[in-house]
Amino acid sequence: MAAVLQAERLVKAFRGTPAVDGVDLRVHAGERVALLGPNGAGKTTTLLMLLGVITPDAGAVELMGQHLPAGRSAALAQVGFAAGYLPLTERLRVREFLTMYGQLYGLAHPGPAIAEALERFRAPDLAEAMGTELSSGQRTLIGIVKATLHRPRLLVLDEPTASLDPDVALHVRMGLLKMCDELGTALLVTSHNMLEVERLCERVVFLSRGRVVADGPPASVVATFGRADLEEAFLHVAGLSGSAVVGAQETDRPA
């Protein structure tokens, strides 16, 4: 299978503090991968480097066969991104918001794609709402709809279901799995919900202190750490990084 994303020896430090320290990552077409790790492990910084938003200090990224940063625009035309912490564009109705992003992704007439994507995530009733009228969970849901409008070959999701009710999170998960199966979309997702990761992803990559400490199928990674499940493996890695003791120190966020 061809790689849709290939990162080699990514390094990033902020004011001398290492955030990402030599990360190698390859995601193949249709593969569903979780990027896991405690707060401050370097997940978001890694994702933003993979998308060309942050420039790495060292290393190389090839996205959709395009080398970044030169091929950023061409590569991102085939990538979708959503994050639980991102707001909707203000002063727009949901349909206007989705139309704008559909056009940014090259859809001259995005209407049918909007209807299909809203249906996929069971959110057609939100189409005419103003962004400011939505709950945080609904905004997150519409963010995911936005990221899937153009049928991306790679979907990158940063904490996609963090603010969703369990039933909505279930719809999102089902919608994502359906899309990945039907379109062969690859998935790269960060999450702190290990149950969700086990249900959604066939491979997990654990980061700790900016380094990959495990990479493989969930069961194999769990076995590597000698734990009962992914949750325990996560806590083990968090303990290794010290974040279970000192709490959520956001070393991956520049000051």
Partner 1 sequence: MTAVGLDWLRVRAIARRHAFVLRRSPHRLFDVTIWPLVDTLLFGSLAVFVSRRGGNGSVAFGYLLSGIVLWHVVYQSQIAVSTGFLEETWSRNLLNLMVTPLREVEYVAGVALFGMVKLAMGVGVVALGAEILFAFDLTRLGWQVLPVAVVLLAVGWVIALFVIGLVLRFGSGAEALAWGILFLVMPLSGVFYPVAALPAVARPIALALPTTHAFAAERAVVDGHGMRWGELGLAGLTTVVMAAAGLVFLAWMLATFRRRGYITRYS
Residues that bind partner 1 (CB under 8 A): 12, 14, 45, 48, 51-55, 69, 73-74, 76-77, 79, 81, 83, 85-87, 89-92, 96, 99-101, 103-106, 108, 156, 253-254
For the CB of residue 68, give the shortest distance to partner 1 in the complex, in Å.
10
For the CB of residue 39, give the shortest distance to partner 1 in the complex, in Å.
14
Nearer to partner 1, 131 or 218 (CB): 131
Nearer to partner 1, 100 or 177 (CB): 100
Nearer to partner 1, 95 or 227 (CB): 95
For the CB of residue 229, give the shortest distance to partner 1 in the complex, in Å.
31
Nearer to partner 1, 111 or 166 (CB): 111
Three-state secondary structure of the chain: CCEEEEEEEEEEEECCEEEEEEEEEEEECCCEEEEECCCCCCHHHHHHHHCCCCCCCEEEEEECCEECCCCHHHHHCCEEEEECCCCCCCCCEHHHHHHHHHHHCCCCCCHHHHHHHHHHCCCHHHCCCEHHHCCHHHHHHHHHHHHHCCCCCEEEEECCCCCCCHHHHHHHHHHHHHHHHHHCCEEEEECCCHHHHHHHCCEEEEEECCEEEEEECHHHHHHHCCCCCHHHHHHHHHHHHCHHHHCCCCCCCCC
Nearer to partner 1, 37 or 131 (CB): 131
For the CB of residue 9, give the shortest distance to partner 1 in the complex, in Å.
17
For the CB of residue 224, give the shortest distance to partner 1 in the complex, in Å.
31
